[in-house]
Every structure is written in structure tokens, then in C-alpha cells.
Chains A and B, each alone.
Chain A
Amino acid sequence: MHGSDPILLSQNEWASLGEKAARGAGYDWGHAEEFGWALAELAGMGIDGSTVLCELLALFETDAVTVPKRLSDLKPSANRAPLCPVVTGAALCDLGDLALESAALELGDVCYPIFLLPFLDRMSAQIGKRVLAFERDRQLTPQNPDLQTGTIRLGTTQMATAKDRNVAFQRIGIQSQAFEQLKSLGMRTTVPATEQSRAAGAGAGLTDND
């Protein structure tokens, strides 16, 4: 890179960055994939989620987020840290219309709820209704991405849900400090070399100049 040009990541790079960072922080691979997907989807909405993701993963590492382990954990509860938006969002998508059997669903406190947005879009496409998230009376949208923790309620509208997936992915810059932090978390998915692994590595000990 040269000068201070913003680093524009491809969709693939966003997804891979988010996946490896979440796995490096300790999420299981299946959820790490959802992190990668959600980070890339946010980028597609024009949102650089890298800084928020760094903060979220830091909270996860100090047990300051609740990773739901049962369906009942998706209900409001006073005695716990706010819900992880990615695991919650993924569970809501898994449940599809079962999640919305009542007209509205109270989730209680969710941290960095902006990360719910990609999942609500996916859920909307699955169930054929627009699924919206509200913090009190305010609707969560890509235009107000800065909420850190909020008491979230879901609702649906009958609006047309079709989202045009043929729109080209518009690249946006990534905040460089968060980029470095996420890459460094991702390195925790790799294994340091040993003398033994170096000797066994692909192509080891063979000359290339022939």
C-alpha cells in the first residue's frame, strides 16, 4: 500500500477476515462463518463493521456477551450480559418463521445490534415478510449503525421484501487499526512452525532451479 489510501477489501476478503478473527477469538467454526458473512454483508450495505467487530470480540473474550445456548435465552433477561448479535441473528435465521410466531419478538439487550441487520435481511428473504428491529421506537437501519447496546424488539411488515442481489458490491475502506487487530486475531487460527513441520512442509529440501 502507498500513502494513506484507504484499503478497499473485496467481499471475499471481508468474509475471510471476519471468519478467521471470530474463530481466533474462540467462536466455533460454524459461528465464525456467520461472522465473516455478516461482516461482508455489512460492507455491502456501506458499513465498515471492523471496529465494532473488534470491540464485540473483546467483550466475548472477557465473557461480557451472552452466547445463547437455549431457545429461552433469546427472551429478555435481567441477569445477564447483552446477547451476541451474530449468534442471536444466526439462531433467528435458523428458526425462520418459528421465531416470529408471535407478531413481535422481544430479544432483550443485544450488543452492537447493527450486526443483526444482515440476518434480518436473510430472514426476510426466507419468510417472505420484511423483518425489522427496533430499539425502543427507533428502527435499526444501516443509516444509524452506532448503537452499542440496545433492548431489541423484532417486528414484521408486509412490504415487498425482494432485495436486488444483482447490485454490484461497492467496495468501502476498512479502518486500518481495526484491520490489523482482526488480522492478528485471525493469526490465532494458524499453527507456529516447528523444526519437524518445516522439514515435512510441501516442497521442503528440493531445488527449484532446474
Chain B
Amino acid sequence: MHIQPDTAITDIPRRLPEHAMRLERMGSAHPTRLSFLRIMLRRMQQQGWRYDRMSFDLNTQGVGHAVYTLHGPQRSYSLVAFSHDLPDEIRSDRVIATAWDATFALFDGVPSSDDIARLSKNVPLQEAGRVSAQELTLSRANRSVRLFDHVVSALAQGHQPDRAELDQVGYFMRTTAVYGSGKFGAQDRSEIAARPELSQPFQAEMMTVWLIRQFTIDVVNHMARVKGGAAAVELSPELARGLGVGNSTGLGMAPFLVKHPGLLHAWACVREEALARVRSLADVTPQQYDHLREALRDAVLNAQHWTSASPYMTDKLPQLRTDLAAVDEYLAAWPKAQSVLPWDDLWNWAATALSCEGQEAVLSLMLEPHGAIVDGLSECLSFPETFAAPIDGRQSVQQLCDVIDHNYQWALQYDFASLTGTARFWYVSEEKLEPRLGSRHAEDGSDRENPLGIAWLVWQLSQQLNDTPKTMTVAEFLLTHPQHRQIVRRIQSLVNCEYGEIRENLVADDILPIDMMRYKLAYFGASRFDPRSDKWVRISLFAGLPYPTDIGNFDARL
């Protein structure tokens, strides 16, 4: 979907893709008010959704099932949760684990007892089971054992747990996968994308995780009651509010952005349009100034609580804290009395004074006070993807060369003749069925490479086109050279999607997949990005945001 700039409200152009779509910048992305979980919460607030805990049937070991339902204006959605007794020694966050503390499905509607019986035979098996078109997602989670035990034991003794302990971990459970889009038998995205409440990206997944968050609190309170009896107290809402749902995710998330370029374009274009709109504003109202200040205070607090032992973040986090302190100082003398475009002043100052990490944090802050001109853009976040989209074979090779010249110059600048230029290859491992990044010149398997090195593929196509008569049709070219069919399809389908490509060589020796993961997770609304290696990361979702039990009483600034 191409978003036309609204010239009535934007004088400032969007940032160019060669700037916005570099991995260093994408890997500094922060959640914004356009993040998918906030879009979901705003809709529920505006449409008056209701929440209902339909059943909570756990025994004294914490084993059993529960059903949590969200009722929208037209449809209901239910989390069916199965809670298990998992011995510590088999608990694993790897996506390839086979047992979990809890397993979940998001049911389309309100499940009958037959549905629950069917799900109880399949959901606990996850990938080894089957769900049906009545389920929208399939997920599982493990406890943070240390925090879980600490909190249950404090509550059982009648007192609240230590806040510092809660802050340190940030969640009671972390999910290790939330599958949707037709996987393992679940409903296809195309079958539900027309529903207003699911038309924006990952809304069913966000509902799932939000309801899981409620479930984690309920399980903790339940186990404290089992242990402490009448002496037990419930976790205070203030402490609960700070907790999210953890998520542990590996490389699997990185290829998504390359395989869904139309969606990537839509997401990036929306963000850039939002920034351009805010930069074009001529005034700063006192309410907007206060809102910006409040958002900055939250960001400073978040940066204080955000810890990571990863070398990737240990450089970035102190820089972020320094940058946010500089923003605080700058805002003391902002806006200047004679300023024509005060928000643009703020942005231009940030773009020269701050690190990439700080600049992207400022982008997020600048959108906060401007829901009125920003939130509507969430309608443009989806993209009508067609599997194996049609190719225009009537196009001439010359016309195709012109498109490459215009849109893919960036891809032709890398040195693919060097060993470092093609050092890595993306593949799926036979053992784990998970995406991996291998070393082309040191490991076997590159004959089974997944075609994610877009720049390299464009370069190879371009070499072939140089030796091809320019009047030939693309249809004929592709019959003779079918190895280029996929990249030609991509080039043609992205003609109007200037943000569709990550502007990097994704098979270079120094590629950091973690940057791709951070970008995607920021769009989800994830905070506390904590890489555990350069290929695996933990994050938190919904920390600081309301619970389903709060529906109707959300913060107006959500």
C-alpha cells in the first residue's frame, strides 16, 4: 500500500530509505505509539471491549486449564491456557523444546467443552499436535523460576515481594513462540485479515500475549493461596503493572522482514510519514510540551531499568542514557520563541547531536503527543501480500534494467567478488527446522541456501541482464534463466515500495541479524531488548501497560 504524503499537513519530506533502512538505524528502533500492542489496546478502549475470565481450573500443583475471553463489538476471542507441572531439568527456552510450563491457543469465539477437550490433546504438544481453523494462534511459555518462586513465597507469607527482584526479571513467564498465519493448522491470515480488529499486523498474536500476561498473574496468586492459605495476599496492582510477558526469540524472526518486503515497506513508510507530519507542525501547545516531557521521563526510567550483559547493548545503553539526558537539557530551552518549525528544530538537533540509538528514541518521543495526526496511520500498516505474485513478462529487459537502475543501485555497490562479500548464507537446519546463518566458505550446505541475500541476487541478475538483448521480453528471459525468477518477481512487486528492502548486504561477513530482530520487535512494542548472543534475544511485552481487567479504565494517553 502506497501512502501518499498528505501535503496539507506535511511540509517536511520523509527520511529517505537509504537513510532509514540501514541496519544500524533499524537496530536502534524503539517502540512507538504505532506499535502493534498499543494499537490493539487503543482499539479495545475506544470500542468498549469487555474481558471475562470464563474458567480457571488449576489444582494445587498448578496443573489444569483456564479460559480468558475478550468480547469485541462483533466477535469474541478466547485464550485457552493449559498449565503443566514441568520439572526444572527439562525447561528450555529453545524453540525446539518439547515441554513447557504452560501452552496456549487463541480460539476464535468462545470454546465449548468439546473444543477444550480437543485442544487439550493438541495444544500441549505444540508443533507435534494440530490445531484447526477455529484457532488463530498457538503458543507456549516457561516460568522465570527464580522470580516465580520468590513472589509466590512472599505472597503466601502475606507480604508483597521485593520490587527490585521484580524489576530485575520483569516477567513471570516468557513465551518462546507465538505461531499464527496458518501454522500447524491454525487459521490463515487471509481468512481473517478483513476483520477490522485483526486487519492490522499481529493483532491476534498481541491479544494472545496480553491474555497470557493476565494468566501469569492469576497463576502466581493461585499458587500463593495454595501455599499460604488464609494468610496469603494477592500481588498488588502497582507491582503487577510493571511486569510484562517475556519473549525469547532466535534467528527465526530475522528472515521475516526479508520475506515480507511489502509489509516492511508499509511499516517503515508509516513511521516515516508520522515523523514527517510531526516535524511539519508549526506550534507546540502546553499540553504537547507536557506530554513530551512525560514521555521523556518514562524513557529515562525505562533506560535505567534496561539491563543487558550483551556486548551489543553494553555500548548502546550508556549512550542512550547520555542521549536522553541531553534531550532533557535541550527541552529546557525549547521551543525557541521565533521558531517556525519547532518540532523540526528538535529533530534536526537530535540528528546531529545524538547517536543513532538516541535519534530513534527521540523519534518515538516526538510521536507521543500527536495521536491526533499519527494514530490514523495505523490503518496503513498492513499490506495485501500475494503468494507467488504475478510477473509482468511483457516488460522488456531494458525496462527491467531501468527499474533496477532506479531502485536497486544500492544493491550493486558491494564487492561480491570478495570472500567477505558473500561470507554468510541463510539456511534452515534439518535438525531444528529453524533459520540459521552459516559460513559459506567454511561450512557445507550453501547449495541449500535460502534466497535472502537480496543485494547479491540483484547483482547476479544484473550481470546476466548485461549479456541479454534489451528488446527480449522478461517472460522469455525467465524461461531461459529460471534461477532469476524469484528476484525479478520481487523487483517488479516492489516498484512502489521504496522502504521494502533492508539496504544492506545480508550475506556479508559482518551482518548482525540481531538488528533485524530488534526492528521487528520494536514494531510489536517490545521493550527491554536483551540479546543473549548475537543470534538470540529476550524482550518484554506489555510492561507498564494495563491488564485485561483494566479495560474501561485505561490511561487516556495510551
A interface residue numbers (CB < 8 A to B) = 1-2, 7-13, 15, 27-31, 33-34, 36-37, 40, 67-71, 73, 87, 90-91, 93-98, 122, 126, 166, 168-169, 171, 187-194, 196-198, 200-204, 206, 208-210
Count of A-B residue pairs with CB < 8 Å: 183
| Cβ of A68 to closest chain B Cβ, rounded Å | 6
B185, A9: Cβ atoms closer than 8 Å: yes
Given contacts A169-B188, A201-B436, contact A196 B443 (CB under 8 A): yes
A192, B181: Cβ atoms closer than 8 Å: no
Which listed residue, A12, A29, A190, touches B429 by the CB 8 Å rule?
A: A190
- Most B CB atoms within 10 A — which of A13, A34, A190, A194? A190
Cα–Cα distance between A169 and B130 once the two chains are bound (Å): 18
The reply on B92 being an interface residue by CB < 8 A is yes
22 A-B residue pairs with CB within 8 Å: A2-B121, A7-B130, A9-B185, A12-B182, A29-B486, A30-B484, A30-B487, A30-B488, A91-B393, A94-B391, A94-B394, A94-B475, A96-B394, A168-B191, A169-B191, A189-B450, A193-B430, A194-B444, A202-B536, A203-B250, A206-B533, A210-B146
A208, B133: Cβ atoms closer than 8 Å: no
The reply on B390 being an interface residue by CB < 8 A is yes
Which listed residue, B145, B430, B433, B475, touches A192 by the CB 8 Å rule?
A: B430
Cα–Cα distance between A187 and B485 once the two chains are bound (Å): 22
Q: Which residues of B contact A189 (CB under 8 A)?
A: 428, 448, 450
B448, A190: Cβ atoms closer than 8 Å: yes
The reply on B34 being an interface residue by CB < 8 A is no
A201, B393: Cβ atoms closer than 8 Å: no
The reply on B372 being an interface residue by CB < 8 A is no
- CB contacts under 8 Å to A, within B174-222, are 181-183, 185-191, 194
* The 10 residue pairs across chains A and B that have the minimum distance between CB atoms: A30-B485, A94-B393, A12-B182, A10-B182, A202-B250, A191-B445, A37-B388, A30-B486, A94-B475, A190-B430
Which listed residue, A10, A13, A188, A194, touches B443 by the CB 8 Å rule?
A: A194
A30, B478: Cβ atoms closer than 8 Å: yes
The reply on B18 being an interface residue by CB < 8 A is no
Q: Which residue of A lies closest to B94 (CB)?
A: A203
Q: Which residues of B contact A87 (CB under 8 A)?
A: 479, 482
The reply on B42 being an interface residue by CB < 8 A is no
Q: Which residue of B lies closest to A30 (CB)?
A: B485
18 other A-B residue contacts (CB within 8 Å) besides A203-B94, A204-B533: A9-B185, A10-B133, A27-B482, A30-B487, A33-B486, A37-B387, A70-B480, A73-B479, A87-B482, A91-B478, A95-B393, A98-B394, A189-B450, A191-B430, A198-B431, A202-B434, A206-B532, A209-B91
Q: Which residues of B contact A166 (CB under 8 A)?
A: 194
Q: Which residues of B contact A12 (CB under 8 A)?
A: 181-183, 188-189
Q: Which residues of A contact B431 (CB under 8 A)?
A: 192-193, 198
A191, B438: Cβ atoms closer than 8 Å: yes
B interface residue numbers (CB < 8 A to A) = 88, 91-94, 121, 130, 132-133, 142, 144-146, 169, 181-183, 185-191, 194, 248, 250-251, 387-388, 390-394, 427-434, 436, 438, 442-445, 448, 450-451, 473-476, 478-480, 482-489, 532-533, 535-536
Cα–Cα distance between A73 and B434 once the two chains are bound (Å): 39
Cα–Cα distance between A98 and B431 once the two chains are bound (Å): 46
Q: Which residues of B contact A13 (CB under 8 A)?
A: 182-183, 185
A201, B388: Cβ atoms closer than 8 Å: no
Cα–Cα distance between A161 and B175 once the two chains are bound (Å): 46
Q: Which residues of A contact B390 (CB under 8 A)?
A: 93-94, 122, 126
| Cβ of A71 to closest chain B Cβ, rounded Å | 5
Cα–Cα distance between A11 and B191 once the two chains are bound (Å): 9
Q: Which residue of A lies closest to B174 (CB)?
A: A208
Given contacts A71-B475, A169-B191, contact A202 B444 (CB under 8 A): no
Cα–Cα distance between A90 and B145 once the two chains are bound (Å): 54
Cα–Cα distance between A87 and B483 once the two chains are bound (Å): 13
| Cβ of B428 to closest chain A Cβ, rounded Å | 5
B191, A71: Cβ atoms closer than 8 Å: no
Q: Which residues of A contact B480 (CB under 8 A)?
A: 69-70
Cα–Cα distance between A196 and B442 once the two chains are bound (Å): 10
Cα–Cα distance between A31 and B428 once the two chains are bound (Å): 19
Q: Which residue of A lies closest to B186 (CB)?
A: A10
B429, A193: Cβ atoms closer than 8 Å: yes
Cα–Cα distance between A125 and B473 once the two chains are bound (Å): 21
Q: Which residues of B contact A31 (CB under 8 A)?
A: 482, 485
B486, A191: Cβ atoms closer than 8 Å: no
Q: Which residue of A lies closest to B486 (CB)?
A: A30
Cα–Cα distance between A127 and B273 once the two chains are bound (Å): 35
